[in-house]
Amino acid sequence: MRTQVAIVGGGPAGLLLSHLLHREGIASVVLEGRDRAYVEHRQRAGMLEQGTTDVLRESGAGERLDREGLVHHGLELRFGGAGHRIPITDLTGRTVTVYAQTEIVKDLVALRLADGGDVRFEAEVLEIDASTPGVTYRQGGRTRTLECDYVAGCDGFHGVARPAVPGLRTFSREYPFAWLGILADVPPSTDELIYAHHDRGFALHSLRSPKVSRLYLQVSPDEDLASWPDSRIWDELAARLAADGGWELRQGPVTDRSITPMRSFVAEPMRHDRLFLAGDAAHIVPPTGAKGLNLAVSDVTVLARALTERYASGSEALLDSYSATCLRRAWRAEHFSYWMTTLLHVDPSADGFARRLQRSHLDYVASSQAAATSLAENYAGLPLDG
Ligand code: FAD
Ligand code: DHB
């Protein structure tokens, strides 16, 4: 069997790439190792940059996003018992939108199938040949080969695409903490996201809808979920999010919980021969800056444009600049995510000097328009080719 672009991985990167290529008349096959229900319900990101919503909307994938996405114009930094609003739209002219990754994945799967797209679930890619090129995969107990012109490695951090690039250089940071995330059936206690720094650790109050809250707690990297009954989670969230003046955290039934390790990671280059890496396959950021999904979307937007030019005119110029274009943006997101993470978390090894510098930094961001603007423009996302 043969196609133009073989896409390894049916997460947001792979599905959106397939959709964008289809709009340009380019055929692809998406091979996803897990089943459809699993990829549609895996709880992850929730905050979309304006550039991400623009791409989804302009490609015809924004119908439900426009109806159900919650447009936000600011966020709150909370520390020392007080809230400090960062007015993102006033400072940048841009907005951000709360719309869960699970919903983007559901929308894209439904669209691909409605358009006659070839998305194969429970099809695990075993091997990638970047020069012939082609991929070998196993589905329903049988091993098959898919030949193609190009391979897109959109298979996340633990996939097989990155190891298929010889001579990669990798850059990484581990952090001495992880995030415990919950989804709860309770109306959010806030209209805008709250990023809280507290001596007990970082906490984030996000949301999914007017009836569903999403919250995160900094925990240690080896934390056991079993030692976090609901009551302990809510007590800890309430302590870290506490503010002077009687703000209260509403509590409700927890419907999903997980612990996510935090790391920064970049692989260079993002291309080998006819294999292109995109999204988490090439880079990981700690979630504090809400950048991972947005980077995956910008990578595949750049890749779809490059492949479109290649098929339309024969020119490989955009394919040749793909890795450098994406890495420029990825490194900006890496820096911002590292910066937000170190600004807001408690490093158990920090001494008194480091703690006071951190507090001074928080005071500065909360009180200086220049510093707040820097946070806001990175959070809302820089223009795609900037
Ligand atoms: P993935 O979503 O990992 O998809 C890769 C797919 O490839 C998977 O479906 C996997 O099953 C499949 N696969 C793997 N190996 C194979 C194989 N051998 N064969 C076939 N298929 C394979 N980002 C944001 O932008 N904003 C946020 O607010 C945000 N919050 C986050 C909160 C949490 C708790 C976490 C964990 C992440 C968050 N992120 C956020 C990051 C975001 O979820 C990821 O960056 C995003 O999922 C990357 O998409 P992807 O398609 O590149 O990779
Ligand atoms: C969400 C996750 C993030 O990492 C973040 O910075 C903001 C929001 C979320 O899941 O809603």
pLDDT, tens digit (0-9, with 9 covering 90-100), for 71-118: 999 999 999 999 999 999 999 999 999 999 999 999 999 999 999 999
26 ligand 2 Cβ < 6 A:
no
126 CA from centroid of ligand 2 (Å): 32
CATH 3.30.9.10 in the chain, residue ranges: 175-261+350-378
Residues 6+ apart with CB under 8 A from 368: none
Q: Which residue minimizes the CA distance to atom 34 of ligand 1?
A: 44
Q: Which of 43, 44, 47 to mutate to test the pocket of ligand 2 (most atoms within 8 A of CB)?
A: 47
CATH 3.50.50.60 in the chain, residue ranges: 5-72+97-172+263-347
Helices (H), the chain: 12-23, 36-41, 50-58, 63-68, 88-92, 101-114, 230-241, 292-313, 317-344, 352-367, 369-380
pLDDT, tens digit (0-9, with 9 covering 90-100), for 317-340: 999 999 999 999 999 999 999 999
Structure tokens at 21: 């290529």
pTM, full prediction: 0.97
- Alpha carbon distances (Å) from 382 to 20, 62, 100, 385: 21, 20, 21, 8
Query: Which atom of ligand 2 is nearest to 288's Cα?
Result: 6
pLDDT, tens digit (0-9, with 9 covering 90-100), for 236-281: 999 999 999 989 999 999 999 999 999 999 999 999 999 999 999 9
Instruction: Identify the nearest ligand to the CA of 137 by its number.
Output: 1
Q: Give residue for tokens 């650790």.
A: 201
- Closest Cα partner for 46 from 280, 272, 230, 294? 294
Output the pLDDT for position 385. Answer: 67
> ipTM, 2 decimals?
0.95
Which DSSP state fits 289? Answer: G
Q: Which residue minimizes the CA distance to atom 12 of ligand 1?
A: 9
121 CA from centroid of ligand 2 (Å): 27
Could you tell me the fold of the domain covering 5-72+97-172+263-347? FAD/NAD(P)-binding domain (3.50.50)
Task: Quickly count: other Cβ atoms within 10 Å of residue 200's Cβ.
Answer: 14
For the chain, give the mean pLDDT. Answer: 97
Cis peptide before 163 (omega within 30 of 0): no
Query: Which atom of ligand 1 is nearest to 12's Cα?
Result: 51
Strand partners, 240: none
287 ligand 1 Cβ < 6 A:
yes
| Domain spanning 175-261+350-378, CATH class | alpha beta
pLDDT, tens digit (0-9, with 9 covering 90-100), for 3-44: 999 999 999 999 999 999 999 999 999 999 999 999 999 989
- Closest Cα partner for 312 from 51, 106, 47, 24? 24
